[in-house]
Structure 1
């Protein structure tokens, strides 16, 4: 689908990188596992579910893959480059098999679901292939692989939400936690593999969501992000409609906000067609619901949006942005943008630049289009925009977004924000870094104030870069 990405975000943002878990007490477990995750935050959340399942079955975590009995790679399939990264990583792991022939290597997630058993043929090192809905089957698959058999389970489910599993927080900063509220996606966007790799939408029981959020708060966390491919379509119906009421996303958002006013609430991702006034009014009502919405546009051309099957026009999208600004005037808005989708003309490209100017995005994830096997676009359309044209248009999009990001940050100079401290700045342990409600990174000197990670502090912004606000603590 998507080939290149530019965050225009501060370097302290952690998006789509690999990570390994914290180390458990090595004496508490018989075997060790190591896990890396790539792609979206949903994959990172899934890895925490996997870690919990493995803990329950005698596996403790390690940061050193060379000593692991089980190595898992949780994969992304949204871009060709993402799959290439996984293949290279598997190749790098050849030394593990040489030094420890008994070690098992497994591939999880979207790439596993897309390629299924073919993965075992393509990647000779792989012993286990597990799709996103089959993580409960991991213990049995591991036992099967230990006998020398290749183990595969990529069955998709219409019910699985892992609602009863308490995730093990991997490499967390101890301040911000991610909570999955639903799985799958019903939107058949022409460029996207997610409906094929994660299945149909199903919403998680709100009571289990509230319990997980409360547990995070009780363990010292100060912020939760509610995750879903399209959170605004969350809709849970109780088994007995006579004794309970359906819960939509606006209802859920309010329920989480009411857990405790000190617990910040974020969410991602919103589909423009589904975000409602009820959600916006709920955000405006509660101070602890952050004023930030990730609202992917993908293209500014109504003609291209129709080909993409996005189900809205440019005019409709711009009206939605205007409505957000009307109800939440200081709301931060970010987006996803694709350059060079099938048949895109220069006029279509100019429409995208114009909708960016209208929306005044604080930041964007920007890509140029590359065809993904199995998608509607791959079956219906010819990928006919030359690569050099795609790159040129993407470069123009990136330059415009950089200018919009700098302009947005410059408007914040002189303002004071409530900032949640997430930890030290990467550039200096003499500075804190945190985020304001609009999801902007703020860096400021510690000075001699008695503050710690997880504290809220009022910070006045005195300068900025294109990606970061620079401030000082307000006495």
Structure 2
């Protein structure tokens, strides 16, 4: 039997898809090469209105070309409230008679119950006894990039965000389980200098790791670092600034195996808007911590998320955001036009407020220009500096602080040492550096 997997959105969704793929391989499934499969799993995204619409569009496209397949829909378009699940099915099939006829082939699984995907496949499709959903399956495919989900859910309930309503409260994977997964992956990576790998720890609120099990992200890093071979490194996915603590900063600064890069969402540079968003920090607090990070962690790179067009945002508010982004020296800015999301405070209390979409486009354009400018500055300041990069297809790779570099290396999935030699090209809101290879790592 064959399977296909799809995902939209964050690194957590990608990590979950890799988990499903490993489980299916262990159960004897083979990956589809043409998109047609017996089992299809789609991990959706609903963090913005655009992402939700794209999720439904892809679901209908997949289902239309695979009407007899068993299709599992999970991720953030699936609300935790069971009474809404049928609405998801209704929206998928709409008025399409073929889809209506095969609607029983669709399984809608909430994000907090993803293990049920494998349970259903075992019990109803291949009739095999269920194994523990927390069992560590071997990594069947040697990859250069691995994503391990160590945390899920969120306790913050920012007024614009749907995630707590689709993924539930924050919860952490036990340290022992993460260590076992790391050991498993590192066996697959080996110590071959001709092969390199990067392991990314992911979570919806990664910095909250351990709050529910009496530990911390810093302690988790200390537990896994001894098992990381010389030809591998660890990267952290996005987190909230308020979850950074002294111990985590010290571990990042002192360990050469941890990439010196952080993605710390700002969302706005206006204290008035931050308060409306319920972000739990002021811009002054944010910039103070950013300044400390730059002083403590050598050669640190920082990127961020910013929302434009939050209800009642004015030109003055936006200018404060521009100023904050300049002071923080982000070398990449991810820009999200605001959209009302169901269940959220903003949706319930503010959706009567009209959004000036032309003004939002103007704000977005200004941030794009600033992001590109600061990306180029970050590269130029490191002209002539040497970095180890993990080479991917096309000769591209990333430094530890997340500069994308183009080289003329033919091999892939290996580390090489390169010297930054100016700017190779511009890609939307960030620049790509030119790298001169000096020697393999």
TM tier relative to shorter chain: 0.7 to 0.9
Q: How does 1:278-427 map to 2 (within 5 A)?
A: 278-382=247-351, 383-421=353-391, 423-425=392-394
SS of equivalent to 2:242: coil
Selected match of 1:136 from 105, 115, 120 = 115
Could you tell me which runs of 5 or more consecutive residues in structure 1 were left unpaired when the two chains were aligned: 1-30, 147-160, 239-245, 426-431
* Residue aligning to 2:432: 468
User: Is 2:412 the partner of 1:453?
Assistant: yes
Contact 2:11 2:237 in 1 (8 A): no
Distance 1:222 1:91, change over 3 A: closer
**Alignment correspondent of 1:199:** 168
Q: CA deviation at 1:109?
A: 1.2
- 1:218-257 pair list within 5 angstroms: 218-220=187-189, 222-235=197-210, 246-257=214-225
Give me the whole-angstrom Cα distance separating, in 1, the residues matched to 2:212 and 2:51: 36
Question: Which runs of 5 or more structure 2 residues have no equivalent in the other structure?
Answer: 94-98, 126-131, 190-195
More helix by share: 2
RMSD: 2.3
Which aligned segments of 4 or more residues in structure 1 are displaced greater than 6 angstroms?
143-146
CA distance in 2, matches of 1:391, 1:470: 31
**Would you say how many aligned residue pairs link Structure 1 and Structure 2?**
407
> Aligned-pair distance for 1:319?
0.4
Query: 5 Å matches for 1:146-295?
Result: 163-166=134-137, 174-220=143-189, 222-235=197-210, 246-260=214-228, 262=230, 263-295=232-264
Checking the alignment, whether the CA contact within 8 Å between 1:204 and 1:236 is kept in structure 2 is no
Higher relative contact order (CA 8 A, sep 6+): 1
Q: Distance in 2 between matches of 1:95 and 1:373?
A: 27
The alpha carbon displacement at 1:91 in A equals 3.0
State the distance in 2 between where 1:236 and 1:374 align: 25
**Cross-structure match for 2:96:** none
| Alignment CA distance shift 1:472-1:385 (3 Å) | same
Displacement of 1:329 in angstroms is: 3.6
2:69 paired residue number: 103
| Rounded Cα–Cα distance in structure 1 between residues aligned with 2:168 and 2:115 | 16
Paired position in structure 1 for 2:397: 434
Secondary structure (helix, strand or coil) at the match of 1:177 reads: strand
TM-score scaled to structure 2, two decimals? 0.86
User: Whole-Å Cα distance in 2 between the matches of residues 95 and 40 of structure 1?
Assistant: 26
Mapped contact 1:113–1:130 kept (Cα < 8 A): no
Q: CA deviation at 1:237?
A: 6.7
CA distance in 2, matches of 1:269, 1:279: 14
SS in 2 for 1:215: helix
**TM-score, normalization by structure 1:** 0.80
The equivalent residue for 1:444 is 407
By how many angstroms is 1:436 displaced? 1.1
C-alpha displacement of 1:37: 0.8
Asked if the contact 2:153/2:169 (under 8 Å) is kept, the reply is yes
Does the Cα contact within 8 Å between 1:163 and 1:204 map onto a contact in 2?
Answer: no
